[in-house]
Amino acid sequence: MSIRDFALPELSMRFFPIWQRHWLVWKKVAAASIMGHLADPVIYMLGLGYGLGSLLPQMGGTSYMTFLAAGTVCYSTMNSASFEALYSGFSRMHEQRTWEAILNTPITLDDIVLSEILWAATKSLMSGIAVLVVIWLLGLSHSVMSLWMIPLALLVGLAFAGLGLIMTALAPSYDFFLYYFTLVITPMMMISGVFFPVNQLPESVQMVSNVLPLTHAIDLARPLMTGAVPPAALLHIAVLLAYTLFGFYVSLVLFRRRLSR
Amino acid sequence: MTPIIQASNLQKSYSGQRVVDGLNLSIHKGECFGLLGPNGAGKTTTLRMLLGLISPDAGEISLLNLPVPQAAREARIRVGVVPQMDNLDPDFTVAENLLVYGRYFGLKDSEIEARIPSLLEFASLTNKRNAKVPTLSGGMKRRLTLARALVNDPDVLFLDEPTTGLDPQARHLIWQRLRELTQQGKTLLLTTHFMDEAERLCHRLAVLDNGKLISQGTPRELIEQNIEPQVVEVFGETAEAWANINAAHYSQRFELSGETVFCYLHDAQPLVAHLQTQNSLRYLHRPANLEDVFLKLTGREMRE
Ligand SMILES: Nc1ncnc2c1ncn2[C@@H]1O[C@H](COP(=O)(O)OP(=O)(O)OP(=O)(O)O)[C@@H](O)[C@H]1O
Ligand SMILES: [Mg+2]
């Protein structure tokens, strides 16, 4: 272990050509990728929304479908950033040796990790927008406030990209990621208020829920979709930013220890 | 003149094992310098330290007059690297690989686009411009990797086993290109397991074993300093029995490897005359070469 591993990240615009590289790869598979972003969340939203919605009373003054729409945007952005940071990130770091090629140029690991976070957040942004367009087309949200969902998708993406990269830095192989998805991501989806309000949960679970990034994202999203200003918005934004910075720094330290020795 | 690449007393250990052990190197402008050594000798680790990708445990490095690792990033602006393992972008075409890689050096798209035709020409890949990487042969990939390493018109090239896995034609093409690069005044640091490659291409060589530099000099110096000038290889089923009785009498030194006896000597005439009378043995008389030196210095045992 070396003290240099713990140095603060050096930020520069050098991340940009790497981001451009990912963009060029993505453009080649854009159609399939957009399908992938959309199909799963929209099927769940419509299926559960119509099916359960007819059994359920109004939720917080909106239809169940509208309630679900806010959660759907958040968890689909969470998923896109996580998949990108874990599977695609690992492929670039390990399988394809893309990082190794880049490190031979005047680019540092700091630049690479920054580019990975920003790219994963870009994927979140794209999937967030795709889901939002469906929501708007279905008339599930009419408020201009719902436009704030776009920067929120980016922020959620940043937070989960950071967390995901910590896993990538620790992963011996792809199999490792299954733990993260089954032990972290899926339970988080259940207790962060995507499908039902958090206050339905036992007190102790609610306490856990209160520190999860997805809960804070949904606390912002749900009022925005109905045109309200989210209560304690700054707190929620601060929490998501804190997760982003934490993930960026910790994953960078771990990547340095993994790759620069 | 200060060397382009200088390392003094480099040390690197992995889990307590010394992988590079007190290495000193100085490589001058326009030189083609070869790093030889058996598998695991520490060649790649040395290159990675010189590039500032990993930090040495001790020792000093300067690359293009910049201290490494402190200013490695700045030094790498003027360096090209051909890594041991191909890491081309499989999602891209040949030309896209060059474009995307050039951007990492901060080059403008227009500058890179202007260089691509001559890079493709140099790598004999002009008509593969729009082919995807997975459709290329091993030799084409290696040539593309070389072209990619030249995208920033570097002053120094690091080439880690540039011809491993290539057929003779492809190797000869790469050799010719590397010679052209030294003629342009570029400095080359390459590793190889091919002694003929090292002998033909490199001005100077260093032999590494277990992380230690065990010999250094021009190919001719290495041969003259380390080994008798003549070699007679004797083979056949009875070679071993023959050697136990006769080899020491005719040669300064001999080694047995499988069914072949290698006799190292200053004057081969008496041995050759003797062998002409031995019907059950065949032999080959040749001048000593770098491979003989390498085997003498690093032994005939397999590594790892
Ligand atoms: N990141 C690492 N972690 C642990 N051990 C390592 C690491 N990198 C290299 N080694 C060890 O260091 C030694 C030297 O490796 P290196 O790759 O430098 O050898 P080499 O001379 O390039 O060999 P080859 O000719 O096979 O490419 C080997 O024993 C290798 O296992
Ligand atoms: Mg090597």
- Which protein residue has the closest C-alpha to ligand 1 atom 30? B40
**How many of the other CB atoms lie within 10 Å of CB of A154?**
18
Q: Is B295 a member of any domain?
A: no
CB contact under 8 A, B103 and A107: no
* Residue among A17, A21, A100 minimizing CB distance to B83: A100
B183 and B283 both lie in a single domain: no
CB contact under 8 A, B91 and A28: yes
Asked if the C-beta of B58 comes within 8 angstroms of chain A's C-beta atoms, the answer is no
* Cα–Cα distance for residue pair A229/A194, rounded to 1 Å: 19
pLDDT of B28-50, one tens digit each? 999 999 999 999 999 999 999 99
B205 and B240 both lie in a single domain: no
pLDDT-wise least confident of A117-126, A242-251, B233-242: B233-242
Residue ranges with strand state E in chain A: none
Cα angle vertex B72, ends B71, B73, to 5°? 90
Q: Which candidate in B100, B132, B144 is best for mutational testing of the A interface (most A CBs within 10 A)?
A: B100
* Residue among A98, A106, A107 minimizing CB distance to B87: A98
pLDDT of B225-234, one tens digit each? 999 999 999 9
Q: What is the dihedral of CA B95, B48, B201, B102, to 10 degrees?
A: 20
Which amino acid appears at position A102 of this protein? I
Q: What's the complex ipTM?
A: 0.93
Which residues, other chains included, contact A50 with Cβ-Cβ below 8 Å and sequence gap of 6+?
A: A65
Q: Which candidate in A22, A104, A111, A259 is best for mutational testing of the B interface (most B CBs within 10 A)?
A: A104
Q: Is A81 a member of any domain?
A: yes
C-beta of B48 in contact with ligand 1 (< 6 A): no
N- to C-terminal Cα separation, chain B: 40
pLDDT value at position A1?
Answer: 57
Q: Is B25 a member of any domain?
A: yes
B242 and B173 both lie in a single domain: no
pLDDT value at position A31?
Answer: 87
Q: Is A12 a member of any domain?
A: no
Give the Å distance between the CA of B41 and the centre of ligand 1.
Answer: 7
Q: Is A13 a member of any domain?
A: no
- Which protein residue has the closest C-alpha to ligand 1 atom 5? B14
Q: Mean of the pLDDT values across residues A252-260?
A: 95
B175 and B252 both lie in a single domain: no
CB contact under 8 A, A20 and B106: no
Q: Is B251 a member of any domain?
A: yes
Q: Is B304 a member of any domain?
A: no
Q: Is A7 a member of any domain?
A: no
pLDDT of A119-164, one tens digit each? 999 999 999 999 999 999 999 998 999 999 999 999 999 999 999 9
- Which protein residue has the closest C-alpha to ligand 1 atom 7? B14
pLDDT-wise least confident of A91-105, B140-154, B166-180: B166-180
- Domain that includes residue B252, residue range: 228-287
pLDDT value at position A61?
Answer: 78
Question: Which positions in chain A touch B90 (Cβ < 8 Å)?
Answer: 96
pLDDT value at position B103?
Answer: 98
Question: Is the predicted pLDDT of residue B298 greater than 90, yes or no?
Answer: no
Confidence band, pLDDT 50/70/90 cuts, at residue A58: confident
Which residues, other chains included, contact A90 with Cβ-Cβ below 8 Å and sequence gap of 6+?
A: A168, A171, A174, A177
B131 and B278 both lie in a single domain: no
Confidence band, pLDDT 50/70/90 cuts, at residue A48: confident
Q: What is the tally of structural domains in chain B? A: 2
User: Ligand 1: which of B17, B45, B46 to mutate, most ligand atoms within 8 Å of CB?
Assistant: B45
B198 and B244 both lie in a single domain: no
Is the pTM higher than 0.90? The answer reads: yes
Question: Is the predicted pLDDT of residue B299 greater than 90, yes or no?
Answer: no
Confidence band, pLDDT 50/70/90 cuts, at residue B247: confident
Which residues, other chains included, contact B49 with Cβ-Cβ below 8 Å and sequence gap of 6+?
A: B7, B10, B12, B20, B55, B56, B61, B68
Give the closest-approach CA distance of A76 to chain B in angstroms.
26
Q: Is A63 a member of any domain?
A: yes
CB contact under 8 A, B73 and A18: no
Which amino acid appears at position B128 of this protein? K
C-beta of B41 in contact with ligand 1 (< 6 A): yes
C-beta of B43 in contact with ligand 1 (< 6 A): yes
What is the pLDDT of chain A when averaged over all its residues?
A: 94
Q: Is B93 a member of any domain?
A: yes
Coil, strand, or helix at residue A62?
strand
Q: Is B197 a member of any domain?
A: yes
pLDDT value at position A216?
Answer: 98
In contact, B217 and B205? CB cutoff 8 Å: yes
* Residue among A25, A28, A105 minimizing CB distance to B104: A105
B105 and B253 both lie in a single domain: no
B93 and B184 both lie in a single domain: yes
Give the closest-approach CA distance of A28 to chain B in angstroms.
8
Per-residue CA distances from B28 to A47, A93, B31, B164 (Å): 70, 34, 6, 25
CATH number of the structural domain spanning residue B203: 3.40.50.300
Contact residues, chain A to chain B, C-beta under 8 Å: 2, 4, 14, 17-18, 20-21, 24-25, 28, 96-98, 100-108, 260-261
Structure tokens at B144: 């593309």
C-beta of B44 in contact with ligand 1 (< 6 A): yes
B63 and B161 both lie in a single domain: yes
Q: Is A252 a member of any domain?
A: yes
Q: Is B200 a member of any domain?
A: yes
Q: Of all residues in chain B, what percent carry a pLDDT higher than 70?
A: 99
CB contact under 8 A, A97 and B103: no
User: Ligand 1: which of B11, B19, B23, B302 to mutate, most ligand atoms within 8 Å of CB?
Assistant: B19
Q: What is the tally of structural domains in chain A? A: 1
CB contact under 8 A, B55 and A20: no
Q: Is A1 a member of any domain?
A: no
B59 and B104 both lie in a single domain: yes
Coil, strand, or helix at residue B299?
coil
B13 and B129 both lie in a single domain: yes
- Omega before B162 cis (within 30°)? no
CB contact under 8 A, B81 and A96: no
Q: Is A2 a member of any domain?
A: no
- Domain that includes residue A239, residue range: 19-259
* Cα–Cα distance for residue pair A162/A157, rounded to 1 Å: 8
Q: Which of B206, B233, B204 is nearest to B220 (CA)?
A: B204
Confidence band, pLDDT 50/70/90 cuts, at residue B304: low
B187 and B103 both lie in a single domain: yes
pLDDT value at position B236?
Answer: 87
